[in-house]
Amino acid sequence: MYIHFPKLVALASVIMATSLVFAQKTAKPNPKDTEVWEPVPPVVTPGAKDSDPPSDAIVLFDGRNLDAWVSAQDHTPAKWFVHDGILTVNKAAGVGNIETRQKFKDYQLHIEWRIPSDISGSDQARGNSGVFLASTGPGDDGYELQVLDSYQNKTYVNGMAGSLYKQSIPLANAARKPGQWQTYNVIWTAPTFKEDGSLETPAYATVFWNGVLVDNHFRLKGQTLYIGKPFYKAYDRAPIKLQAHGDKSEPISYRNIWVRELP
Ligand code: MG
């Protein structure tokens, strides 16, 4: 029988392809097929305790001084009180909010705060402060994670501690009693903007309050405003700001503040 050579080649190709497919189907799965070896994560040496700054953290307050902070109003040196390794809000007239010298984009933040044991007042006027995850102006502009005495202190729930002010209702009330130290661990994903200033991607915040998840990748609608609907205003990098709230209750304290910039 005579078979034309090109036809023979074609037939051989079909047989080879078929056997290849068959071989692939019958080949035993290999665990190595799904192993990934690169990129190798950088080594970060953790602190002695999880609340201590890891080796790559930027320490914003270690109990000694306010060198990393300035007045949010005029960028003069911060005038809050440093004593006994802690930082206490200065509510004197004209002092106001303080913010970091350094500006950030996406980050992981650790910050501890304490409502004084002799706290007075009620609702929003009881230990009110705040951590602005991005400060976009000298006043209360930006994105505030509320700090407030929320231990048996009723207020609107999107304004209690753990809330992204007037936007998120925390998933739980993890408040400790006044006088005890409390912790926020935050993952902040900054909003991004197009060339024309319009929003490209929104901001997200994940917050653990005393180890309890209270904001789970919460998508913000814009800045956290006291009055009106939130909106976005374009910025690139921003300081982190702490609030000197104007209520008359006893000033609260902070300690052990550090941040890790995220890629
Ligand atoms: Mg506040």
Could you report the per-residue pLDDT of 196-207, keeping only the tens digit for each?
999 999 999 999
Ligand 1 center from residue 20 Cα (angstroms) = 67
Determine the average pLDDT of the residues in 4-16: 56
Dig out the tokens for 145 from the structure. Answer: 């994670």
Ligand 1 center from residue 51 Cα (angstroms) = 23
Contact in structure between 242 and 130 (CB atoms under 8 Å): yes
Dig out the tokens for 30 from the structure. Answer: 């290999």
Ligand 1 center from residue 58 Cα (angstroms) = 24
Ligand 1 center from residue 244 Cα (angstroms) = 8
Ligand 1 center from residue 147 Cα (angstroms) = 6
Q: Output the average pLDDT for the chain.
A: 93
Ligand 1 center from residue 116 Cα (angstroms) = 16
Ligand 1 center from residue 225 Cα (angstroms) = 11
More confident residue, 197 or 25: 197
Distance CA 149, CA 30 (A): 56
Ligand 1 center from residue 62 Cα (angstroms) = 23
Please report the pLDDT score of residue 16 as a whole number: 57
Over residues 91-120, the pLDDT tens digits come to: 999 999 999 999 999 999 999 999 999 999
Please report the pLDDT score of residue 27 as a whole number: 81
Ligand 1 center from residue 243 Cα (angstroms) = 6
Assign 182 to helix, strand or coil.
Answer: strand
Distance CA 131, CA 108 (A): 13
Please report the pLDDT score of residue 254 as a whole number: 98
Q: Is the pLDDT of residue 225 over 70?
A: yes
In the block, residue with structure tokens 């005890």: 180
- Diameter of the chain measured on Cα atoms: 107
Contact in structure between 204 and 189 (CB atoms under 8 Å): yes
Ligand 1 center from residue 98 Cα (angstroms) = 13
Dig out the tokens for 118 from the structure. Answer: 């002799």
Global pTM reads 0.89
* Percent of the chain topping pLDDT 90: 88
Determine the average pLDDT of the residues in 231-249: 96
Question: pLDDT band at 2, cuts 50/70/90?
Answer: low
To which H or E segment does residue 242 belong? strand 241-242
Determine the average pLDDT of the residues in 50-73: 97
Ligand 1 center from residue 260 Cα (angstroms) = 23
Ligand 1 center from residue 128 Cα (angstroms) = 5
* Percent of the chain topping pLDDT 70: 90
Ligand 1 center from residue 205 Cα (angstroms) = 17
Give 223's DSSP letter.
S
Span between the terminal Cα atoms of the chain, in Å = 69
Ligand 1 center from residue 163 Cα (angstroms) = 10
Distance CA 130, CA 251 (A): 12
